[in-house]
């Protein structure tokens, strides 16, 4: 193989011309397309990262909102329990007070009826005593046995009415 400087210089000039033409018309647009593609991929990676961060933040917000909702629900349930307990206690107190009042009224009514019955019995007994005395005075009884029989008869009459 024979090596000549002229062919080397011509090959070098041809290579430089080819490189210059490729650089101007092929490499520029090719590198431009590759750079745009790299930027697009980088942008998509950044957007995916941001979306992932937003999703994580959203999940955390939802967890916190859920915890707050559970806490509020627990507080509402606890307040309801306390309110129902208070209402139950109030109703029991009212029922006890009403029962005590009714019992006291019943005792008073019974006492009043008893007093009325005693008064009625006393007035009847007084009237009966007066009648017995008047009958005794009307009759002159000579023996004690006759007086006892008269009293027993009158008491049977009075006992039969009441």
Q: Which residue has the tokens 């309110």?
A: 83
Please list the helix, strand and coil fractions of the chain in percent, rounded to the nearest 5, in that order: 95, 0, 5
pTM above 0.85, yes or no: no
| 14 falls within a domain | yes
pLDDT band at 47 (very low <50, low <70, confident <90, very high): very high
55-102 pLDDT, tens digit each = 999 999 999 999 999 999 999 999 999 999 999 999 999 999 999 999
**Better-predicted residue by pLDDT, 119 or 155:** 119
Quick one: 44 exposed, middle or buried, by C-beta within 10 A (0-12, 13-18, 19+)?
A: exposed
Longest Cα separation, the chain: 195
Rounded CA-CA distance 127/138 in Å is: 16
Q: Give me the percent of the chain exceeding a pLDDT of 90.
A: 56
Q: What is the pLDDT of residue 155?
A: 73
96-120 pLDDT, tens digit each = 999 999 999 999 999 999 998 888 8
Mean pLDDT of the chain: 86
Is the Cβ–Cβ distance between 158 and 128 less than 8 Å? yes
Provide the domain count of the chain.
Answer: 1
Domain that holds residue 12: 7-124
| 112 falls within a domain | yes
| 144 falls within a domain | no
């Amino acid at each position: 193989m024979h090596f000549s400087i002229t062919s080397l210089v011509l090959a070098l000039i041809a290579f430089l011309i080819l490189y210059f033409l490729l650089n101007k018309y092929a490499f520029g647009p090719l590198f431009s397309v590759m750079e745009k593609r790299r930027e697009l991929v980088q942008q998509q990676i950044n957007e995916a990262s941001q979306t992932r961060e937003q999703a994580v933040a959203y999940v955390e917000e939802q967890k916190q909102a859920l915890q707050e909702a559970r806490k509020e629900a627990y507080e509402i349930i606890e307040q309801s329990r306390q309110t129902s307990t208070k209402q139950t206690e109030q109703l029991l107190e009212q029922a006890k007070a009403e029962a005590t009042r009714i019992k006291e009224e019943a005792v008073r009514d019974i006492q009043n009826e008893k007093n009325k019955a005693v008064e009625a019995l006393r007035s009847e007994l007084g009237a009966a005593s007066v009648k017995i005395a008047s009958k005794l005075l009307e009759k002159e009884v000579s023996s004690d046995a006759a007086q006892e029989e008269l009293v027993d008869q009158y008491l049977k009459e009075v006992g039969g009415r009441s």
